[in-house]
């Protein structure tokens, strides 16, 4: 199994993508009460989006795989939506859709109000099993097979990124 080529997203492109999401939020008729960054990849975009919009930030650590930790936070957030609190989940990319599917299922399983939850990503793959409400850019994985490396991920060793890309890129939906 070969690793996909890496495509480094520079800071300028990242900022443009965040500004695009902020503009979409400002122009719409739905405003979240909180931005929720999904750890690990969605944390940095969520912080930037929070600053760009002035909307308060919360976070859920999904990537650590610590049993029940992220799920407990999702349940607390789901409970808040029963009181009308609106949440915008932010992640870096909707690639396969597995992360977003899991988050939505957990959110609904614990009684979250679907109408009070929306999702935003920097990059949205049209081949994903899940859809998002806001996106800065759209790709088609059939045409763009390279593995995106966001500015914060570029801190990792190249070999570690290649291993991570190979595992995630070749994992079936």
92-149 per-position pLDDT tens digit: 999 999 999 999 999 999 999 999 999 999 999 999 999 999 999 999 999 999 999 9
The answer on pLDDT for 52 being more than 90 is yes
Q: Whole-number mean pLDDT of the chain?
A: 90
11-24 exposure pattern, b = at least 16 Cβ within 10 A, e = fewer: eeebeebbebbbee
**pLDDT (0 to 100) of residue 72:** 85
Q: What is the pLDDT of residue 1?
A: 52
26-30, 59-63, 79-83, 136-140: range with lowest mean pLDDT: 59-63
Does 171 have pLDDT greater than 50?
no
Model pLDDT, residue 172: 43
What is the pLDDT at residue 67? 62
Asked if residue 168 has pLDDT above 50, the reply is yes
| CA dihedral over 22, 145, 64, 94, signed as positive or negative | positive
CA pair distance 142, 95, nearest whole angstrom: 12
pLDDT band of residue 167 (cuts 50, 70, 90) is low
Nearest one of 56, 110, 100, 53 to 80, comparing CA atoms: 110
Phi, psi for 14 (deg, rounded to 5): -60, -50
Q: Which fold has domain 6-168?
A: Rossmann fold (3.40.50)
pLDDT of res. 173 = 40
- Strand-pairing partners, residue 59, are 37
Q: Give the pLDDT of residue 163.
A: 73
pLDDT at 162: 75
Interval 33-55 mean pLDDT: 96
């Amino acid at each position: 199994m070969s690793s996909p080529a890496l495509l480094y997203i520079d800071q300028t492109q990242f900022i443009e993508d965040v500004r695009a999401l902020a503009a979409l939020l400002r122009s719409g008729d739905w405003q979240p009460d909180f931005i929720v960054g999904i750890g690990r990849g969605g944390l940095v975009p969520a912080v930037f989006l929070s600053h760009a919009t002035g909307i308060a930030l919360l976070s859920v650590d999904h990537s650590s795989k610590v049993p029940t930790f992220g799920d407990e936070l999702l349940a607390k957030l789901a409970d808040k939506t029963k009181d009308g609190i609106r949440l915008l989940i932010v992640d870096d990319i909707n690639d396969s859709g597995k992360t977003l599917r899991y988050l939505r299922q957990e959110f609904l399983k614990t009684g979250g109000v679907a109408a009070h939850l929306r999702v935003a990503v920097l990059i949205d793959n049209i081949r994903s099993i899940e859809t998002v409400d806001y996106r800065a850019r759209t790709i088609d994985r059939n045409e763009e097979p390279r593995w995106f490396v966001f500015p914060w991920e570029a801190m990792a060793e190249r070999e570690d990124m290649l291993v991570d890309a190979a595992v995630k890129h070749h994992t079936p939906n």
